[in-house]
Structure 1
Amino acid sequence: MLTNIPADLDFSLLPEWYPHSATQLHWPSNRQTWPGKRLKKVEHIYLDIIEVLHNYEAIHLFVENKKVHKDVLFLLEERGIDLNQIVFHIQAINDVWARDCGPLFVCREDNGDIDYAIVDWEYNSWGEKYPPYDADNKLPDYIAFKYGITRFNPDMVLEGGAIETNGDGVLLTTESVLLNPNRNPQMTKGEIEKRLKDYLGIRKVIWLKGGLAGDDTDGHVDDVARFLNENTILAMRADSADDINHQVLDENLKILHKATGRLGYSFAIETLPMPQTRIEGATVDGSTHVPASYTNFYIANGVVLVPLYDKRYDREAMRLFRQYFPDRDIVGIPCADLVWGQGAIHCITQPWYGL
């Protein structure tokens, strides 16, 4: 069922630590994103992620055609992966960024029962940067129809990596993305905020300034600040004033230290240092930096997948996640080759709930 306006305002965006029914992934096959030998390198990272993740929850793996499906089956069997944990969708896809084009699940309690729905935001490949993107934009509709789940259509461009919630009505985002004229030029800041509140059950929006150099999304929040729990925010910091990201991260931290929750409480702020983001040569869009960030982690059932980039700081990152998620396994995934495509683990995953 499709509806443009929520039946009521009781549906709320779920925090990532809420129990998942599955994770959505797209098998990498876009040669523009992964030219030459880079595609094989990224496939290896995907196999590493699937090998870990399938032990904790089901994976809905989207592959673009039957040939890719056959090839991926062979690779998974070589790794000894339990195929009963993998649900294949042979479906047209444009790229791997499931976080940004996939369905955002919301839920509400109704007489003791939990109802789930999908909010189907428009996806335009971060301001029409990488056409075509129509196949990815259709995925929430496909998922809602296939599984018979209610789908809301807010008629607004929004990517999942641009927002982050604590599950208590607070949402983090960045001005550099949501106020960018390449998304919703017809909408004011107030109108955008109201749309977020109406469709995601948000009570309060914390607006950070921007994101990282080399982030072709214009600065997604999942590369600069994420909730570790309802009351704690992990933010990236750049210790050197010469770091290309120093100014924006410093501005973001100042905002976070002053920010309050829905009921006026202050947040505890944890920080991690930026790993090396400058690369040799340039990415496909000409950037000499990549958005390598420890905030691009993924919380799944029983495990947290942590991107690793830089031996100077990887151990510190792993210690922090073990501290905040003592009941989950903490698994590091080397992501230097993945982030060359300008995204990491959080960017390629989309949690499903209630299906």
Structure 2
Amino acid sequence: MSWYMPPETAPQDRVWMAFPRESATLGESSAAREAGYQAWTAVAHAVAEFEPVTMIADPTEISRAKNMLGSGIEVIERPIEHFWTRDSGPTFVQAGDGSLAAVDWIFNAWGAPDPAEWQNDRGLARFIAGIAGVPVVSSLLVNEGGGIHTDGDGTVFATETVQLDPDRNPLADKARIEAEFARTLGAKKVIWLPQGLTRDYDSFGTRGHVDIVATFASPGRVLIHDQPNAGHPDHAVMARIRAILETETDAKGRRLELIPVPAPEAIHDQGGFNDWSYINHLVVNGGVIACGFGEAKADARAADILGAAYPGRRVVTVDAREIFARGGGVHCITQHQPCARK
């Protein structure tokens, strides 16, 4: 059977998330942990305005999750280590008849050397697929949902430092990865970007996820991160990436229309140069959950750009600074499940 990944703008059945649990990622102090809990909860409530949310919670956090989320969000108990569901959860795909399946990539915590850090996460994709009642498409590729973007029309974005990472896929080359994306995602063309944003190579980073760099608003139209400040290292990174995309065509031979989304003015946070990006948003039924960074002018400008890129959808901005401080954004902590076509 052949599979393809629909665009993220396709109708959705629900969004899956994972509630934070105590860890170095969540924070060492009670104040830091509380800020993390609140950030994940705010995103869940924003999504729930548009469609159902199902939250996976570790047994150590089940009571807190239910209390903070309230009765409107389903909470399911299961042991987990990480709470970035875009990466540890499944990637949903469709068959030609419109039925759903779930791709189970190998997850090793972004190339982490210690299996103890992801032993429970390894089975999360199959667990979610079982609850969703869909078959599993197994893959031997170490990959994460944040490491790919598709236009739903045969084109896939990937990053050389992710799928070709020797701590992920030491024996893989581009041809093998492209063949696997063709089998699992229906990819007809993979556009390779050389790297991700600078901060993404720090200790909590993913080593280059594309979902903070560029995404398809629709076939042929690409929203791209824009760092206008030449003092930020991502200014040069994005100039290189933009130059590549300006010469590319998609799987149907279309030249890509690039829509820059300027970053906030602040270029530092407590960890150094930040990676604040409005690209890491979530498209939902009738809406867009956008990242906010406490800058009214920049947040509003980004919301206007996203609203124009996704006509007919209401943009809701959620403060994402606490999520970014832990290594990701709104897109990273969510995993959408498309509706089966009839």
TM-score class normalised by the smaller sequence: over 0.9
Q: Is the 8 A contact 1:193 1:205 kept in 2?
A: yes
Matched, 1:259 2:236: no
Q: CA deviation at 1:158?
A: 0.5
Aligned to 1:278: 268
Aligned to 2:53: 59
| Shift in CA distance, 137/277, structure 1 to aligned 2, threshold 3 Å | farther
Residues of 1 paired with 2:229 and 2:44: CA distance? 36
Which stretch of the first structure deviates more once superposed, 171-180 or 270-279? 270-279
Which stretch of the first structure deviates more once superposed, 311-320 or 222-231? 311-320
Matched, 1:73 2:66: yes
Aligned to 1:350: 335
Residues of 1 paired with 2:129 and 2:142: CA distance? 18
Residues of 1 paired with 2:236 and 2:82: CA distance? 31
Q: Secondary structure at the match of 1:331?
A: strand
Q: Is the 8 A contact 1:30 1:94 kept in 2?
A: no
Pairing of 1:200-279 with structure 2 (within 5 A) = 200-215=185-200, 216-275=205-264, 276-279=266-269
Moved over 4 A (4+): none
| 2:304 aligned to which of 275, 296, 319 | 319
Aligned to 2:121: 136
Residues of 2 paired with 1:344 and 1:30: CA distance? 19
Matched, 1:19 2:11: yes
Q: Structure 1: where are the runs of 5+ without partners? A: 1-7, 78-82, 283-287
Deviations 1:200-247 (A, max 9, x none): 100001111111122110010011101111121011122233211122
Matched, 1:296 2:280: yes
Deviations 1:27-69 (A, max 9, x none): 111321121121111222222222221121111101101x522
Residues of 1 paired with 2:316 and 2:129: CA distance? 31
TM-score, normalization: structure 2?
0.92
Q: Is the 8 A contact 2:156 2:190 kept in 1?
A: yes
Aligned to 2:75: 88
| Shift in CA distance, 129/219, structure 1 to aligned 2, threshold 3 Å | farther
Q: Percent identity?
A: 28
Q: CA deviation at 1:129?
A: 5.8
Counterpart of 1:71 in structure 2: which amino acid? R
TM-score, normalization: structure 1?
0.89
Q: Secondary structure at the match of 2:106?
A: coil
Q: Is the 8 A contact 1:176 1:218 kept in 2?
A: yes
Q: Is the 8 A contact 2:227 2:235 kept in 1?
A: yes
Q: Structure 2: where are the runs of 5+ without partners? A: none
* Number of aligned residues: 331
Residues of 2 paired with 1:204 and 1:97: CA distance? 27
Aligned to 1:5: none
Q: Is the 8 A contact 2:65 2:75 kept in 1?
A: no
Deviations 1:147-200 (A, max 9, x none): 432111121100000000001000011112111111101111111111111111
Q: Is the 8 A contact 2:232 2:273 kept in 1?
A: no
Aligned to 2:23: 31
